[in-house]
Structure 1
Amino acid sequence: MDLDELDRLWERHPAWRLLRARNAPLVLSFLGRHFIDENRGAVAAGQLVSALDDHLYAVHRIEPERYTQDASDYIDDWSSPESGWLRRFYPAASEEVHVEATPSLEKAYQWVESLRARAFVGTESRLQTLVDLLRQIVHGSETDPETRIAELERRRDAINAELAAAREGRFAVLDDTALRERYQQFSSTARELLSDFREVEENFRTLDRTAREKIAGWEGGKGDLLAELVTSRTDIAASDQGRSFQAFHDFLLSEGRQDELADLLGAVLGMPQIGAERRLRSVHHDWADAAERAQQTVRNLSEQLRRFLEDQVWIENRRVMELARAVEASALLVRDTVPRGDELGLEIDESGVTIALPFERPLYAPQPDVVVDSLPAPHTVDETGLDGLFAQRFVDTVRLAGNIRAVVPPRSVAALDDIVGLYPVEEGIAEILGYLSLADDDIAVEVSDGEMTIAYDDVEGEPRRVRMPRVMVTRR
């Protein structure tokens, strides 16, 4: 990080601003315990003011001259945009202001907590966690089937060896130091996960606020706005953060996973050598609550889209009603005015409107079944009736296209009667229709203004003439 970036963070970031504040100990001690340690979501502003008043009473018993402002003034100051440690909002179906902690407060609180001296710092369990993560990265991205099979067989052999040793009563048990080390890592990761949920919720809330701003200032069509909002919602759901959050949420909602977590936490709390915190017994419920708050923010975005569509439909229906009433008012104004002379009036072809009454239609009468026998009797078959099929004439459209290419150069136009004059009709009117049905890549047949007459001999040799619209043939 360069000097300019650090200057901006020092001046603008709410977490750094909190660390520089004169009443930072009060903010971190009260808000950190109330929201972060107890994993609370949004609470009513009056309830928070009452809790702060009790906290200040306990502080004033020891230091009467410290923190002399009212509790409500402190809450207003901490939730102002200049501070940014609390967020004020009105939840749905509530008329009371609610406040909740921001990710900046959580970052500052975690940093201050990291300054506390630790009597025990575990390293072995974290090293094993790092090695396990490396194994998951390497083996999870392997695409060679032989390599995957070899790794699975190695793990199977190790498990079989461990099973054989356990059956003989030989197995390693974690000592008290290893247990405390792993519990410390679990406790730290569990709290970090709750902090990450608060930041994910803030990112989703930013998307919701952006959508509200777009809806408030949108002047175009509904389709364009919906396409943009749905794209933004899809982008955040398809991002690494969105996919990871959804996978965690699905994992946590599994009933089997919840039962397993509850059993494991209960077993850990029962170990006397660890001294586990009672609050961690329900940490999986805290995870579920934090994930639900993030999901609720996403549902708010969908609710905004639904309200936008309903408002647009209401506005359009209102406009239609205004136009209909304007037409009715104009009709009432001119109903007694009879146009005279050449004034603008209304002309109709008939003096009345044809009325068709529904009951004038005849009732339905079922028709008798008709038996169709399509096979003629054997004695009525005409042996010479098939001769007409063999007398059919075939029009070669390839030959007609060749005639056009021989007469009309590329990128030129010619009339059909000129082409027929050079290549007389041989197959009668069917050949002329064949010219009209040509649709090759380099030939286009179009009908234009005017008429033309084509002379030809029919299949019997009789001279014929056909008058038709003027047809132009174009070579592309």
Structure 2
Amino acid sequence: MDRGQHRRIAAAQKGNTMDFEQVSSLRERHPAWRLLRRDHAPLILSFLGSYYLEGGRGAQPAHEVAGALEDHLYTLNAPYPEAPPFPRTAEEYLEDWASAESGWLRRFYPAGSDELHYDAAPALEKAHSWISSLQVRPFIATESRLQTAVDLLRQITLGTEDDPQVRLAELRRRREEIDREIQQIEKDPQSGLLDPTSVRDRYQQFASTARELLSDFREVEENFRRLDRTAREKIATWGGSKGELLEELVRTRSNITTTDQGRSFQAFYDLLLSQTRQNELSELLARVYELDEVEPDLRLRTIHHDWADAAERTQQTVRQISEQLRRFLDDQIWVENRRVLELVRSIETAALSIRQNAGVLEPNMGLEVDDQGIGIDMIMERPLFQLQPEADVDSAVEVAHAQDISTSALVSQTFVDQGKLAQQLRAVVPPGASVLLEDVIQMYPVQQGAAEILGYLSLKDEDIDVVIEDEGDTVIEYQEAGEPRRARLSRVVVKRR
């Protein structure tokens, strides 16, 4: 083993080791650890774990969650009518569990809805998973996990092998094994069948992986939501130029798709959206659940649909960041709603200040609202009815001259075809070369304004890279609404692989 390998192993061991300060910080700050320290942790894990995690539910309206919790509390409090162990209402418990100090539920208003919703947080998943692992399992799958580990190692070594002869030798070896299995089955039709123990072993491994995958989606969604929240905070507190902020937001959007987590999620999402793959999963699950050797978990019967729903919620978070970019680029709205944006930013800045100060309020901080209540009017204070004289009303109104008003702006939508932009780049940039974006735009002038420029900046393709450099700048002139415009950006280089 050379010195470089020793250093890599030492660095990996150091990165996987937690010291005393890290453990102490997790104990005080991590929501999952705080959950386990609460006195009514059994209530939280038994209800939320059963309702969300074991029930396979996503975000639910507040009234449905509160109704289910009320039934759960009634069952627990019924044996102790004089001193119930959980005296608070379901709404109070839900607000406590979704607070910033707890963080076990996510409380939000979905797009297009004015009703409050609750969803399980990743911290709840971690705590519930650890508690579930403490239970005694009568049967533990080992053979299938070993085979899975070996198959993964084979995929890694074969997928990173540069010598094509080695890969061809491995494929020929697999073909010989398949030919031997075919010959064996032709001689003995019962050859190669799994015994009941092997079937249960593999089903347990599948069930565990399926639940873990559904659980991981909540954590991936939370990571993407954290990036979305960071982008919103930058917009609310930004004090520089609009061009600099736009460049920062484009980098944030690009980081989502270029990280290992983003690439892995996108590959899974594309694979899951395949209709052929959906039909194959449905057929395989139906056949497995007909086996007598398996004790089926009915919640996993439609697990692939739960995967699709969870992946769509995660993808929606990524779309919200793109929507922030689109709204930010709309110059007309920026001018018309300038005062509204200033007020919203002041409120967001104050909210961020309160959150960062951990609830410590400064003097005179807050909002003033009108006193709400029902006014009391005595009967004798009401005036008697008085007959009002008739008033002459002239309803004849002169008809103004008809004007031709264009209503196309009400339904017009701007859609930038990134596939067309990629074709234009391939027509200009040969493979292995690079050019400036302004040179491309000189050959293909901008037709759709700033949205088309953003389309170039956020373009990600298999053989095209759009790189924003720190040094130098790019000036792009274009027409929008019949008026000349000029965009100043950092130096943008288009590269072909």
User: How far apart, CA to CA, are the structure 1 residues paired with 2:78 and 2:337?
Assistant: 64
User: How far apart, CA to CA, are the structure 1 residues paired with 2:106 and 2:65?
Assistant: 13
Q: What is the aligned counterpart of 1:228 among 232, 248, 252?
A: 248
What is the one-letter code of the residue matched to 1:42? A
SS for the counterpart of 1:215 is: helix
Q: What is the aligned counterpart of 1:167 among 186, 190, 196?
A: 186
1:205 positional shift: 0.4
Q: What is the aligned counterpart of 1:294 among 314, 318, 321?
A: 314
What residue is the counterpart of 2:167 in the other structure? 148
What residue is the counterpart of 1:76 in the other structure? 95
1:278 aligns with 2:302: no
1:58 aligns with 2:78: no
Cα RMSD for the two superposed structures = 1.4
User: How far apart, CA to CA, are the structure 1 residues paired with 2:209 and 2:333?
Assistant: 50
1:15 positional shift: 0.1
Say if 1:318 and 1:190 are closer, same or farther in 2 by CA, change over 3 A: closer
What is the one-letter code of the residue matched to 2:60? V
Say if 1:160 and 1:221 are closer, same or farther in 2 by CA, change over 3 A: same
What residue is the counterpart of 2:45 in the other structure? 28
Per chain length, whose mean CA-contact separation is higher, i.e. which structure has more relative contact order (CA < 8 Å, sep 6+)? 2
User: How far apart, CA to CA, are the structure 2 residues paired with 1:297 and 1:133?
Assistant: 31
1:262 aligns with 2:279: no
What residue is the counterpart of 1:327 in the other structure? none
Larger Cα-atom Rg: 1
Say if 1:315 and 1:121 are closer, same or farther in 2 by CA, change over 3 A: closer
User: How far apart, CA to CA, are the structure 2 residues paired with 1:37 and 1:318?
Assistant: 46
What is the one-letter code of the residue matched to 1:184? Q
SS for the counterpart of 2:301 is: helix
User: How far apart, CA to CA, are the structure 2 residues paired with 1:36 and 1:221?
Assistant: 45
Q: Could you tell me whether the CA contact under 8 Å between 2:253 and 2:322 is conserved in 1?
A: no
Provide TM-score, normalisation by structure 2: 0.62
Measured against aligned partners, the alpha-carbon deviations of 1:62-121 in whole angstroms (never above 9, x if no partner) come to 344221111111011101111110111222222222221110011000000001100011
What residue is the counterpart of 1:107 in the other structure? 126
What residue is the counterpart of 1:339 in the other structure? none
User: How far apart, CA to CA, are the structure 2 residues paired with 1:146 and 1:190?
Assistant: 36
1:225 positional shift: 1.4
User: How far apart, CA to CA, are the structure 2 residues paired with 1:150 and 1:315?
Assistant: 62
What residue is the counterpart of 1:410 in the other structure? none
What residue is the counterpart of 1:87 in the other structure? 106
SS for the counterpart of 1:100 is: strand
Say how many residue pairs are matched: 318
1:2 positional shift: 0.9
User: How far apart, CA to CA, are the structure 2 residues paired with 1:11 and 1:113?
Assistant: 23
What residue is the counterpart of 1:424 in the other structure? none
Task: Map 1:349-388 to 2 at 5 A.
Answer: none
Q: What is the aligned counterpart of 1:3 among 14, 20, 25?
A: 20
What is the one-letter code of the residue matched to 2:58? G
What residue is the counterpart of 2:61 in the other structure? 44
Provide TM-score, normalisation by structure 1: 0.65
Say if 1:317 and 1:91 are closer, same or farther in 2 by CA, change over 3 A: closer
1:131 aligns with 2:150: yes
User: How far apart, CA to CA, are the structure 2 residues paired with 1:133 and 1:99?
Assistant: 37
Mark the runs of 5 or more structure 1 residues left unpaired by the alignment. Answer: 320-476
Task: Map 1:244-263 to 2 at 5 A.
Answer: 244-263=264-283
Say if 1:139 and 1:318 are closer, same or farther in 2 by CA, change over 3 A: closer
What residue is the counterpart of 1:177 in the other structure? 197
What is the one-letter code of the residue matched to 1:299? R
User: How far apart, CA to CA, are the structure 2 residues paired with 1:29 and 1:63?
Assistant: 19
